[in-house]
Amino acid sequence: MNTKAPANSEAFLQCINCKKILFSIDFEQNLRVCNYCGHHHRLSAATRIAWTFDEDTFEELDTELRSGNPLEFPDYVDKLHAAEAKTKRFDSVVSGRAKLEEMPVSVAVADFNFMGGSMGSVAGEKITRTLERAADEQTPAIIFCASGGARMQEGLLSLMQMAKTTAAAQRCAEAGVPYIAVFTDPTMAGVLASYASIADVIVAEPRALVGFAGTRVSKQAGVSKVPDDFQTAEFCLKHGMIDRIVPRKEMRDTLASLVRTLGGHALSAYAANGGKK
Amino acid sequence: MSSPKTHKEWERELLELEDFIAKAREAARKEAEPKSREALEAKIEDLEKGRDKFIDVMYSNLGPWEKVLIARAEKRPYTLDYVQALFSEYVELQGDRRGFADNAIIGGPALFNGQPVMVVGHQKGRNIQERQFRNFGMAKPEGYRKAIRLFDMAERFRMPVISFVDTPAADPGVESESRGISEAIAAAIMKMFELTVPTVAVVIGEGGSGGAIGIAASNRVLMLENSVYSVIPPEGCAAILWRMPERGPDASKALKLTAASALEYGLIDEILPEPKGGAHRSPVETFATVKEAIEKHLGALQKLSPEVVKTDRYDKYRGMGRFEIAEG
């Protein structure tokens, strides 16, 4: 795996879970997993892509898509601008083509740093295009989820992204192309209740928050007592909702094996087509 | 002045007036003296005219929050009222065949103008017992899994699907999470996109986020004039944005959750007008409107080939979303 040098110049940092002090160099070499408690810290989309796919094979697409403020929702434009400045991106999802152990894959990676990875029209469009490219080009789809859910600021337009992305996943299934979802911290609500949950295979990072109703929403609905592991990847595994929990350092190998096996048939078709369609 | 929190509260004065009229009617009926009775009846007529004006004023220029209250009104016709009025030979089918049964989503085969269709809908309750039995119209995973069974049967037996949408949200509890509420909703949406039979959804009350779209991803989506359709309940939105659920009325404005907005953004196909004073004041008229609309849309869809019915649905949702194209 092509680990990069520490991004920040700080020599130390604190684990957000166990609060122990970590050496930045160790932390980066350990893929931002705490050496003490194993907490998987959140990654930006760029880091995730660099650490998952073959070096310099990621071709980013759909970069022209940018959120507007279709509902003229209060403060939305300010939030968008702040998120754009923070992430240097136009939205929460990064999409494109990449290679994984030399196999072509259609890829989307959500970035929690952009408005909590929420899904509005742009994120929905990018996920849809990723799945459509997978179906059309016979390249397995890999989607890294990281989202608080649908983006409230785009109202019903956001809700309809659930239908749109799910329809695209259905098209992928019909085309015989495998779709693998990776639940990272957090994978919630409208994203979980649409394209994320109907992947052929679902793997999750340890202790990722995974659930339908956010705390503030469920509290509003009167839900109070919950189990200790409620809405974690481990809870989902126990209840049969996901296939495996995969530590970050094993993620690339696991995904490659899945693409090679489940995607074997599709990839033959892709090769017979002489690469791209 | 703070906003009313329920439909009853909002209509309080009107309800008092209606109550008074009813009592006056009763008194007139009992009045033996013809002259006095006539005088009473004349007064009642005046009162009724006043009431009609009152309704006119209240129900013209409704804001989004008033629509939220009307959409949630307990007197509003629910799915089973439509089933009874619009269909014959309805047989309710139950169970997800995986160990659980849900009472917030109901459905089964029925005849619509003599033609077999599959009916699916959220069902709310009117009194405390009913409300608990229906879990306030909040379906658990088994509700969506039952819907998937019904969708499968509809496809197998070539029956169009008619959905009635009326839910505050899907059930957010621990049980539902344990049994995969998210997967159940996603799988139901996915199933709807597999169908080659026509599907028509009518939002009759509350179109509450994922819980609604789980049975509403149809070829045609119609909304009653005073129904709402939203990505999140306004109170939930206010809780997240401002940490103040009581600011639901403000959030309801921002969310653009009315039928008019949904139509404007190209997310629904038609708004079905309600009788003066809302669907609950004249259910019979409402049923006729809904019936006619279903006939029209179903008729048009049934002219399409099964394959086109499916691509029509895909293309419809494929086009949903509003974004900008950045330069460079």
| B113-168 pLDDT tens trace | 999 999 999 999 999 999 999 999 999 999 999 999 999 999 999 999 999 999 99
Nearest by CB to B257, from A156, A161, A166: name it.
Answer: A156
Q: What is the DSSP letter of B100?
A: -
Measuring CA to CA, which residue among B286, B306, B294, B303 is closest to residue B112? Answer: B294
| B80-97 pLDDT tens trace | 999 999 999 999 999 999
Bond from prior residue into A186 cis (ω within 30 degrees of 0): yes
CB atoms within 10 A of CB B38: 12
pLDDT level of residue A26 (50, 70, 90 thresholds)? very high
Give the residue-averaged pLDDT of B35-42. 88
Q: Are strands B323-325 and A65-67 parallel, antiparallel or unpaired?
A: antiparallel
Average pLDDT, chain A: 93
Q: Is the CB of B217 less than 8 angstroms away from the CB of A166?
A: yes
| B243-289 pLDDT tens trace | 898 999 999 999 999 999 999 999 999 999 999 999 999 999 999 99
For chain B, say whether A70 makes contact (Cβ under 8 Å): yes
pLDDT level of residue A4 (50, 70, 90 thresholds)? very low
Gyration radius of chain B over CA positions: 22
pLDDT level of residue A214 (50, 70, 90 thresholds)? confident
Question: Cβ distance B257 to B68 under 8 Å?
Answer: yes
Residue of B nearest to A152 (CA): B231
What part of A 5-24 touches B (C-beta under 8 Å)? none
Percentage of the residues of chain B whose pLDDT score is greater than 90: 89
For chain B, say whether A240 makes contact (Cβ under 8 Å): yes
What part of A 44-63 touches B (C-beta under 8 Å)? 63
Q: Is the CB of A167 less than 8 angstroms away from the CB of B181?
A: no
For chain B, say whether A194 makes contact (Cβ under 8 Å): yes
Give the residue-averaged pLDDT of A216-220. 64
Return the structure tokens found at B187: 């799988």
Helix (H) or strand (E) holding A80: helix A76-87
What pLDDT, on a 0 to 100 scale, did the predictor assign at position A6?
Answer: 45
Is residue A275's pLDDT more than 80?
Answer: no
Q: What crossing angle do the helices spanning A248-262 and A45-52 adopt, rounded to 10°?
A: 60
Chosen for mutation from A129, A212, A225, A241 (greatest number of chain B CBs closer than 10 Å) is A212
pLDDT level of residue A9 (50, 70, 90 thresholds)? low
Question: Cβ distance B79 to B166 under 8 Å?
Answer: yes
User: Domain limits of chain A?
Assistant: 1-41, 42-272
Helix (H) or strand (E) holding A191: helix A189-192
pLDDT level of residue B31 (50, 70, 90 thresholds)? confident
What pLDDT, on a 0 to 100 scale, did the predictor assign at position B32?
Answer: 84
CA distance A108 to A105: 10
pLDDT level of residue B61 (50, 70, 90 thresholds)? confident
What pLDDT, on a 0 to 100 scale, did the predictor assign at position A276?
Answer: 58
What pLDDT, on a 0 to 100 scale, did the predictor assign at position B1?
Answer: 52
Is residue A8's pLDDT more than 60?
Answer: no
| B300-323 pLDDT tens trace | 999 999 999 999 999 999 999 999
| A88-133 pLDDT tens trace | 999 999 999 999 999 999 999 999 999 999 999 999 999 999 999 9
What pLDDT, on a 0 to 100 scale, did the predictor assign at position B226?
Answer: 97
Give B-chain residues touching A73 at CB under 8 angstroms.
254
Chosen for mutation from A73, A160, A192 (greatest number of chain B CBs closer than 10 Å) is A160
Give the residue-averaged pLDDT of A153-167. 98
Question: Cβ distance B160 to A221 under 8 Å?
Answer: no
What pLDDT, on a 0 to 100 scale, did the predictor assign at position A5?
Answer: 47
pLDDT level of residue A2 (50, 70, 90 thresholds)? very low
- DSSP calls for B196-217: -S-EEEEEEEEEEHHHHHTTT-
Give the residue-averaged pLDDT of B43-70. 93
CATH classification (class only), A42-272: alpha beta
Domain B69-318 has CATH 3.30.70.520: no
Is residue B73's pLDDT more than 70?
Answer: yes
CA distance B266 to A58: 35
Give bridge partners of residue A33 from the DSSP assignment.
A40
Percentage of the residues of chain A whose pLDDT score is greater than 70: 93
Measuring CA to CA, which residue among B211, B233, B224, B221 is closest to residue B65? Answer: B233
Chosen for mutation from B176, B312, B320 (greatest number of chain A CBs closer than 10 Å) is B320
User: Domain limits of chain B?
Assistant: 7-60, 69-318
Q: How far is CA B37 from CA A69, B30, B49, in A?
A: 62, 9, 18
Q: What is the DSSP letter of B305?
A: -
